[in-house]
Amino acid sequence: MSDSASRSDVRDLYQEVLLEHYRHPRNFGALAASTASAVGNNPLCGDRVTVFVEVADGRVRNVTFEGSGCAISTASASLMTETVKGKTLAEAEQVFQEFHALLAGDAASVDRDQPELERLACLEGVRAYPMRVKCATLAWHTLHSALAQGQVVSTE
**At residue 7, does pLDDT exceed 70?**
no
CA distances to 86, 102, 107, 131, 152 from 112, in Å: 20, 9, 9, 23, 30
Q: What is the pLDDT of residues 94-138, one digit of tens each?
A: 999 999 999 988 877 887 778 888 889 899 889 889 889 999 999
Q: What is the mean pLDDT of the chain?
A: 89
User: In 3-state terms, what secondary structure has residue 44?
Assistant: coil
- Nearest alpha carbon to residue 77 among 27, 11, 38: 27
Q: What is the pTM of this model?
A: 0.89
Q: What is the pLDDT of residues 19-64, one digit of tens each?
A: 999 999 999 999 999 999 999 999 988 999 999 999 999 999 999 9
